[in-house]
A and B are shown apart, each in its own frame.
Chain A
Amino acid sequence: MIHWKKLATTTALTLAAFATPAMAQLSVDVTDESASSLKIAVPVLPTQQSVQTPAGTTDELGRKIAEVIASDLKGSGLFEPSGPGGLPGVTVPEVTFPSYDKWSSYEALVQGFVRSTGGNADITVGCYLYDVALKSELTRQGYVVSPGDWRRAAHKCADAIYARLSGESPFFDSRIAYIAESGPKDKRVKRLAIMDSDGANHRFITNGQSLALTPRFSPDYKSIVYVSYLNNRVRIYVYDIGTGKQRLVTESSNATFAPRWSPDGRNILFSMAVAGNTDIYRVSAQGGAPVRLTTSPAIDVGGSYSPDGSKIVFESDRSGGQQLYVMNADGSSQQRISHGGGRYATPEWSPRGDLIAFTKISGDFKVAVMSPNGGNERILTNGWQDEQPTWSPNGRVLQFFRTSAGRSGGSQVWQVDLTGVNERRIPTPLNGSDPAWGPLLP
């Protein structure tokens, strides 16, 4: 089992580090949940000559990019970033030749620059990571983006830092599909919406006239599959982000819900109730005849593919209460994997393949993880109702929605890492539920 802990940060030096940068001494790792976070300074990214772009001056962008980098790193729980506010300024020549003495109270230093010829021209963002104690460069990256995509350059820089220091795959530069909620509890308005992984670049997609539920980005981010109550029926649609048009996944008089993409985007797993009995089916994303995968008279619902597409974890109450089962992608060899107390729901296979996240129900709802064989169950959250975890692209962080009790209760999108220690709310303009994390952007 993978145990994600924050690393004791270390500045132990080995000369080998210079020869093999991939083995830098400075690192964040995870075997000690109580370890302190790595102190990292993120000063404003300077610009040689401030010019105007549609997204602001390059001076302003240098500050905003530093803010996003610091926010991303803080949200991961592995770092204790400072800046850009309160930190000394950096000149452009310093970016590649750091004044290490200025940063002696930090373990790591992020510097960079913003360059543009002005107007709509692409901006170039440089991103450098230094080990302060060793006075050595750990990585450098450059990004050329349109001015309006400056946040993506910031996320890519934070991803490079995170990956370099943790040894894990990056995840900040990714997007979330979710349901924006407003209105009273018995007349909740639910709208399909999308945003960056940190809540920025928010956009509503549906207008709220029909209930929208359980969206999922396609692996290529070109479309979203979700449930809509359009025409007072419960049916799955594929919404094309480019054209703004949507189509039914399958023509049926039965209710269809709980849609999920296969990892290659070619198939959609879904649940369909026929004469009241819900089973799990698969259909080509292009349409066609659905293939039935489960046949139990009990409720079989949801499901999530293993990253290689060979297996599906799903929930069923065939034993009397909701439990988790794994089957082959063709529906064969269905075997129960959850055996603890309480009920188990909404399983999601990690993109790394090593864990399954789920909702543990024992009165309250908790977000929890287990190994695909059912072992090593760990509860990560402690809200009243923490429901429906979704994995970050690197399988190290989960988002979910947390609902508060009572007639004025509502839901918000939250994030937690695998230690369970680092939890934060994702800012959304309205309340939110059903977050679904897409893959890392190219």
Chain B
Amino acid sequence: MNALSRSLLMATAVISLVACAKKPPKELPPAPVDNTMPADTGATTGGVVKGSQEDFVASVQSDRILFGTDKFDVDAQSQGILQSQAQWLQANPNIRVTIEGHADERGTRDYNLALGEKRANSAKNFLASLGIDSSRMTTISYGKERPAALGSDESAWAQNRRAVTVTVQY
């Protein structure tokens, strides 16, 4: 399943993101097996190292959830995404994650740092409610400092109001 098509509502948004696709989730090599099955015992599946960020992105609906303007609630679509992340985290119990909270450029700097904190913690709290140990999850807010989409339009802003789950690799 293309994670993009699930996480984005508008066809135009999909087009614009694909057009400048530099961010995960990237186009991935065909996955021959169902990666969500915890039965893999080998180190790799199709060249993807189990427990890697690549494995994570390929296995979950999306590595990120999106928010409305000035909002930090986890909506139904985001709940589905976080459930898929929780499944993977349960299958990879030794992996820790950092959840990055972000805001679009239409807020002031300090406020956006605070808003990113709320978004990252919303995702963290939902994952915790699904049984993921809080000690495996840290949060960091980037406010408006690290946009995923570079435009100054509704489509870009919608992609930038996000909480992204990133596996911590050693």
A residues touching B (Cβ–Cβ < 8 Å)?
184-188, 190, 211, 213-214, 232-234, 255, 257-258, 271, 273, 275-278, 299, 301-302, 315, 317, 321-322, 345-346, 359, 361, 363, 365, 385, 387-388, 403, 405-407, 409, 433-434
Q: Sample 10 A-B pairs with CB under 8 A, ordered by A number.
A: A186-B150, A273-B118, A276-B118, A278-B114, A299-B114, A317-B111, A345-B111, A346-B109, A365-B108, A388-B109
Are A234 and B115 in contact, CB atoms less than 8 angstroms apart? no
Are B114 and A185 in contact, CB atoms less than 8 angstroms apart? no
B residues touching A (Cβ–Cβ < 8 Å)?
70, 72, 98, 105-111, 113-115, 117-118, 120-122, 124-125, 139-141, 145-148, 150-152
CA–CA, A363 and B122, complex, Å? 26
Are A234 and B108 in contact, CB atoms less than 8 angstroms apart? no
Contacts of B107 in A (CB 8 A): 345, 361
Contacts of B141 in A (CB 8 A): 234, 255, 273
Contacts of B151 in A (CB 8 A): 406-407
Contacts of B98 in A (CB 8 A): 232
- Given A317-B70, A407-B151: A387 and B114 interface contact (C-beta under 8 Å): no
Q: Is the interface of A mostly helix, strand, loop or mixed?
A: strand
Contacts of B72 in A (CB 8 A): 276
CA–CA, A332 and B109, complex, Å? 26
Contacts of A322 in B (CB 8 A): 108, 111
Contacts of A388 in B (CB 8 A): 108-109
Are A434 and B109 in contact, CB atoms less than 8 angstroms apart? yes
Contacts of B110 in A (CB 8 A): 214, 257-258, 271, 301-302, 315, 345-346
- Given A255-B140, A273-B141: A213 and B122 interface contact (C-beta under 8 Å): no
Are B118 and A299 in contact, CB atoms less than 8 angstroms apart? yes
Are B140 and A233 in contact, CB atoms less than 8 angstroms apart? yes
Are A186 and B113 in contact, CB atoms less than 8 angstroms apart? no
Contacts of B114 in A (CB 8 A): 257, 271, 273, 278, 299, 301
Contact of B122 among A185, A276, A361 (CB under 8 A): A276
Q: A213-B145, A387-B108 are in contact. List 19 more A-B contacts (CB 8 A).
A: A186-B147, A234-B113, A255-B113, A271-B113, A273-B113, A273-B117, A276-B117, A276-B125, A277-B117, A299-B111, A315-B110, A315-B111, A321-B70, A346-B108, A359-B108, A388-B108, A407-B151, A409-B152, A433-B109
Shortest beta-carbon distance, B139 to chain A, in Å?
Answer: 8
Contact of A185 among B118, B120, B139, B150 (CB under 8 A): B150
Are A258 and B113 in contact, CB atoms less than 8 angstroms apart? yes
Contacts of B111 in A (CB 8 A): 299, 301-302, 315, 317, 322, 345
Are A405 and B152 in contact, CB atoms less than 8 angstroms apart? yes
CA–CA, A228 and B27, complex, Å? 34
Shortest beta-carbon distance, B104 to chain A, in Å?
Answer: 12
Contacts of A346 in B (CB 8 A): 108-110
CA–CA, A356 and B109, complex, Å? 18
Q: Which residue of chain B lies nearest to A387 when distances are taken between CB atoms in the complex?
A: B108
CA–CA, A228 and B70, complex, Å? 24
CA–CA, A436 and B16, complex, Å? 37
Contacts of A387 in B (CB 8 A): 108-109
Q: Which residue of chain A lies nearest to B122 when distances are taken between CB atoms in the complex?
A: A276
- Given A301-B110, A365-B108: A276 and B121 interface contact (C-beta under 8 Å): yes
CA–CA, A190 and B148, complex, Å? 17
CA–CA, A365 and B104, complex, Å? 14
Contact of B108 among A211, A271, A321, A345 (CB under 8 A): A345
CA–CA, A276 and B70, complex, Å? 14
Q: Which residue of chain B lies nearest to A179 when distances are taken between CB atoms in the complex?
A: B109
CA–CA, A345 and B122, complex, Å? 24
